[in-house]
Amino acid sequence: MKINKQKFGVLADGTKVHLYTVQNDSMSFSCTDYGCTLTSIVLNNDNGTKTDVLLGFSTLEGYLNTKFCFGAIVGRFANRIGKASFTLNDKKYTLDKNDGPNTLHGGFNGYDKMMWQAEVIKGSKQCGVKFKRTSPDGEQGFPGKVKLEITYLLDELNNLTCEYSAITDKATPINITNHAYFNLAGNGQITGHTVKMNSDYILEVSPKLIPTGKLLPVKDTPFDFTKEKSIGKDIGELGPGYDHCYVTEMYDPENKRCGCPLDDTDLVEFAVVKEPASGHEMAVYTNMEGCQFYTGNFIGGILGKNGVRYQAHDAFCLETQCFPDTPNKPDFPSCILNPGQKMKAKTVYSFKI
C-alpha cells in the first residue's frame, strides 16, 4: 500500500490545496482537502490498462466552478429539506432556498466548497486519509457546533470505505454523504450497466422531489431492481431518469428501525452494479436507511476530465443517507444528533476488477 501527497492548486486567498493518492496492487483512489472530494478511482485491468471509474475534473479549477458536487462531501444535511425550514425543540430554523423553495445539500454554502484538514492514515490493513472540519453553530442555518471527520480508506481486497462521524454541542439534524458519480466503463452512457438492489421500497415524492412520508413498493414498476436489470431498461418511463431514495435493509418499515447512525459495525449489502463489457463490478454496503439512486440526469454539457464533455446518463450515483426531509417527517427515523452522542455512518464501495 502506498500513499502520495502532491500539490493540487492554490485558492484565491493563497490557501494551498493538496491531492492524496492511495494505491494497492489492483487499484487506487485520489482525494483532495478541497471539499473532502474523491477525484478518481482507478482500476488496474488485467491487460495492463487502467480505468478511472469516477467522473470529475482534471484540475482544481473544475471543482471550484461546478455546482454538481462531483465526488464531494455534502452536508450538513444531504439531499432536500422541504420549504427550506424545520422545527427542532420548538424553535424554527430557516435555511437557504437553493433548490426552488427547498434546501438541497446544505444550501448555497456547501461543504464541497470548504477546506478540510487532512491527516494521512497508515494502518496494517487499510491506508487512507482522514479529513476534519468544525462547522460553527448557525452555519447554513443549522444549530450546534459540529466537529466532523470524514475518512477514506483502501484495503488489499479493493474495498474503499467511507466513514463519516460527528459530535455536536446542540441537538441538530445531521446527514452526510459522498456525491460520487460512477461509470464502471470509464466513459459513455451507463444505461448498459446492470444493477441489483436489496430494496423493496422507494420514498414517494412530490413533483419537487420532497418525500410525502409514504413508502412505495417497487415490485412491477420501473423502480424494481430486486432482480438484476440494466439501468436503461425502464429509464425512458421516468422522464429525465432516476433520482429517487431507495430504502435499504437497515430500515424495518413495521418497527421504523434505524435513525441517526450511532453504530457503524452493522452493515447491509444494498446494491451490486456491473458493467458487462469491462467486467468491472461494484458492491455497496452501508449502515444507512436510504440511498439516493441518481443517473446523472442534469450533467449534460459539463466539460470534465481530459476534455471529455459529459452527457446526461454518463454516470450514476448511489448516495447512502438518512431519508430526505427527515427533519420535517416525524414518522421517518430520527436524524437528530444530540450532545453526548457520536454519529457514525459508514459506506463501503467494494470493487471487482
Task: Write out the catalytic residue numbers.
Answer: 179, 319
* Residue 233 one-letter amino acid: K
Nearest CA to 75 out of 105, 97, 34 is that of 105
8 Å CB contact between 331 and 211: no
Nearest one of 128, 171, 170 to 149, comparing CA atoms: 128
- Sequence letter at residue 330: P
Block residue for cell numbers 464541497: 112
For residues 310 and 301, the answer to whether their CB atoms sit within 8 Å is: yes
Q: How many CA atoms lie within 13 A of 237 on its CB side?
A: 7
* Identity of residue 152: Y
Report which DSSP code applies to 219: T
Largest separation between any pair of C-alpha atoms in the chain:
61
Contacts of 165 (CB under 8 A, 6+ apart): 148, 149, 151, 342, 343, 344, 345
Which residues does 234 contact at the CB level (< 8 Å), separation at least 6? 222
Report yes or no: 35 and 48 within 8 Å, Cβ to Cβ. Answer: no
Query: Which distant-in-sequence residues (6+ apart) come within 8 Å of 28 by Cβ?
Result: 21, 22, 40, 41, 42, 154
Angle at the Cα of 277 from the Cα atoms of 272 and 279, rounded to 5 degrees: 45
